[in-house]
């Protein structure tokens, strides 16, 4: 087993769109007030001036971007965010996605970029990798339907082919062969129950942090 870096615990919540990553990050931030335990959640891409502009570009339907261009933009935003996290040094940093999402989303589909190439590029560009990656597992079909329902009436991009979701789910299922320190958590059920599973996974990874199991 790879030794976790406990000097600056950094947790990435990963999974398909529709698994509830952002919701879980918000629940974690609410559980541990920042001013007391120095827990901070970040949005990837975002939370830096460059990242915010890149996020707008990535969410726009026009002009269409190639998969390679999309991957490069994600990596550029992620580098800026990594530098911010390193500078701020929160006791526990949490983000709603990281490198694994690039492997799953830009490493699949008809215009996919080879996963090995993306991994190598990420290692060169992004100076900070999670000490724990939690993958929220739900069936690809359910995640696809949730994302479809959420996109109705909005300008968000939506992948109409559920088969692409299945390809992405395969990457998440085999995440431990692609990155270090992966824990899978069942993502179905009431959000509070899922949150307790996420908290338990964090506590098991960092047992010296006994405050993790406390509620505010």
What tens digit of pLDDT does each residue of 20-52 get? 999 999 998 888 766 566 789 999 999 999 999
DSSP structure string for 11-24 = EEEE--TTS-HHHH
CATH code at 47?
A: 3.40.50.300
Asked whether residue 21 is domain-assigned, the answer is yes
Considering the entire predicted model, what is its pTM?
Answer: 0.90
Asked whether residue 3 is domain-assigned, the answer is no
Asked whether residue 4 is domain-assigned, the answer is no
| 3-class DSSP state of 10 | strand
pLDDT tens string 145-171: 988 888 765 545 556 688 999 999 999
Q: Residue 13 and residue 114: Cα distance in Å, rounded?
A: 23
pLDDT at 41: 92
Asked whether residue 97 is domain-assigned, the answer is yes
Asked whether residue 25 is domain-assigned, the answer is yes
Q: Residue 93 and residue 130: Cα distance in Å, rounded?
A: 9
Please name the helix (run of DSSP H) or strand (run of DSSP E) that holds residue 182, with its range, or none: strand 182-186
Asked whether residue 146 is domain-assigned, the answer is yes
| Number of structural domains in the chain | 1
Domain of 52 in residue numbering reads as: 10-213
pLDDT band, very low/low/confident/very high, at 95 (cuts 50, 70, 90)? very high
Task: Give the residue from 94, 90, 95 showing the smallest Cα distance to 45.
Answer: 95
Q: Tally Cβ neighbours within 10 Å of residue 123.
A: 11
Asked whether residue 2 is domain-assigned, the answer is no
| 3-class DSSP state of 54 | helix
pLDDT tens string 13-25: 999 999 999 999 9
Q: Residue 208 and residue 163: Cα distance in Å, rounded?
A: 42
Asked whether residue 5 is domain-assigned, the answer is no
Phi/psi at 140 (5° precision): -60, -40
């Amino acid at each position: 087993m790879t030794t976790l870096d406990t000097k600056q615990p950094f947790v990435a919540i990963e999974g398909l769109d529709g698994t509830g990553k952002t919701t879980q990050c918000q629940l974690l931030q609410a559980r541990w007030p920042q001013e007391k335990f120095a827990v901070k959640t970040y949005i990837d891409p975002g939370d830096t001036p460059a990242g915010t502009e890149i996020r707008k570009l990535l969410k726009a339907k026009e002009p269409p971007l190639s998969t390679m261009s999309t991957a490069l933009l994600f990596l550029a935003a992620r580098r800026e965010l990594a530098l911010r996290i390193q500078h701020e040094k929160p006791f526990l940093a949490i983000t709603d996605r990281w490198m694994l999402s690039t492997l799953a989303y830009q490493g699949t589909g008809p215009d996919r970029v080879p996963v090995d190439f993306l991994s190598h590029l990420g290692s060169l560009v992004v100076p900070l990798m999670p000490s724990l990656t939690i993958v929220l597992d739900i069936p690809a079909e359910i995640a696809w339907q949730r994302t479809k329902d959420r996109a109705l009436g909005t300008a968000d991009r939506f992948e109409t082919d559920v088969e692409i979701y299945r390809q992405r789910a395969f990457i998440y299922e085999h995440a431990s062969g692609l990155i270090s320190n992966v824990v899978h958590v069942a993502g179905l059920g009431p959000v509070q129950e899922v949150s307790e599973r996420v908290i338990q996974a964090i506590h098991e990874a960092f047992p010296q942090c006994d405050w993790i199991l406390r509620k505010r």
